[in-house]
């Protein structure tokens, strides 16, 4: 039982640093937070959508802090590099992956804030922590310190962001709620729970069809054999919808 923060063997961050600053401009708040949600959903899909998945996002306007917590299963010690190394993944190539880097690739967190703390506990194993700071990014040392810390809930990963690169305001929270509902409509209807500042996000679909008689939406269903990945099935419905918001350019 760990009752205090204890340093353990560092995590190899090669060649993360040279890539970190180059990707910051690629992310805004929506893109960055959605990648963190994607990683939790990838783990959930990896176990066949079995069990409950809850992803909790907190945007603290007053203190200018962001946190994302999920109960997707956590990351074990050997896979800690996945949390920081772009391009690395423990996922089966044939798995259903929606995150840019599968389980890992928390590059979005680095893009949103100067200080990132990642705490994760795989199943009932020891909890670990990684701290990404400007000091580490600017140093010549490639090894990122890792710590064994007092346990958090089993199967949990927590990402905390501070010293945000861009301030968040009330309007960001409202926009993020709509974006989460639209982006994860399918997953929310499948049983995933996403909470923003303690309130569940409602699914938002795009089936407000607009069409003249006898010219409704068109559907196409087909399968494609992909070498090394098996058969991929597609089910596409296309048409015009009534809920266009010109100001959102959607």
User: Can you name the residues that pair with 221 across neighbouring β-strands?
Assistant: 235
Q: Could you tell me which of 243, 180, 234, 235 has the C-alpha nearest to residue 207?
A: 243
Question: 0.75 exceeded by the pTM?
Answer: yes
**Rounded CA separation 100/29 (Å):** 16
Higher pLDDT, 48 or 188: 188
Instruction: Return the axis-axis angle of helices 29-46 and 170-183, rounded to nearest 10°.
Output: 40
Give the C-alpha separation, 236 to 250, whole Å: 18
E-strand spans in the chain?
Answer: 6-12, 54-60, 65-70, 113-121, 127-132, 143-149, 156-164, 193-196, 199-200, 218-226, 230-238
What is the mean predicted confidence (pLDDT) over 69-88? 79
Strand-strand pairing, 218-226 and 199-200: unpaired
More confident of the two residues 38 and 103: 38
More confident residue, 45 or 119: 119
Architecture of domain 6-200: 2-Layer Sandwich (3.30)
Any idea which of 94-103, 179-188, 234-243 has the lowest mean pLDDT?
A: 94-103
State the span(s) of the chain assigned CATH 3.30.565.10: 6-200
């Amino acid at each position: 039982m760990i009752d205090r923060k204890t340093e353990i063997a560092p995590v190899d961050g090669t060649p993360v640093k040279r890539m970190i600053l180059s990707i910051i401009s690629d992310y805004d708040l929506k893109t960055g937070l959605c990648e963190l949600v994607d990683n939790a959903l990838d783990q959930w899909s990896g176990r066949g959508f079995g069990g409950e998945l809850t992803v909790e996002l907190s945007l603290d306007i007053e203190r200018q802090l962001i946190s994302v917590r999920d109960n997707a299963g956590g990351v074990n010690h050997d896979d800690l590099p996945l949390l920081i190394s772009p391009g690395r993944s423990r996922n089966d190539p044939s798995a259903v992956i929606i995150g840019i880097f599968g389980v890992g690739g928390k590059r979005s967190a680095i893009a949103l804030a100067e200080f990132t703390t990642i705490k994760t506990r795989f199943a009932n194993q020891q909890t670990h922590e990684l701290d990404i700071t400007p000091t580490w990014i600017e140093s010549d040392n490639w090894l990122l310190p890792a710590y064994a810390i007092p346990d958090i809930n089993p199967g949990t990963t927590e990402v905390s962001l501070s010293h945000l690169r861009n301030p968040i305001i009330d309007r960001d929270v409202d926009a993020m709620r709509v974006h989460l509902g639209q982006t994860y409509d399918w997953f929310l209807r499948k049983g995933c729970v996403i909470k923003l500042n303690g309130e569940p996000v409602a699914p938002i679909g795009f089936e407000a069809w607009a069409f003249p008689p006898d010219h409704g939406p068109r559907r196409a269903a087909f399968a494609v054999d992909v070498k090394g990945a098996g058969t991929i099935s597609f089910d596409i419905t296309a048409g015009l919808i009534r809920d266009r918001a010109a100001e959102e350019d959607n």
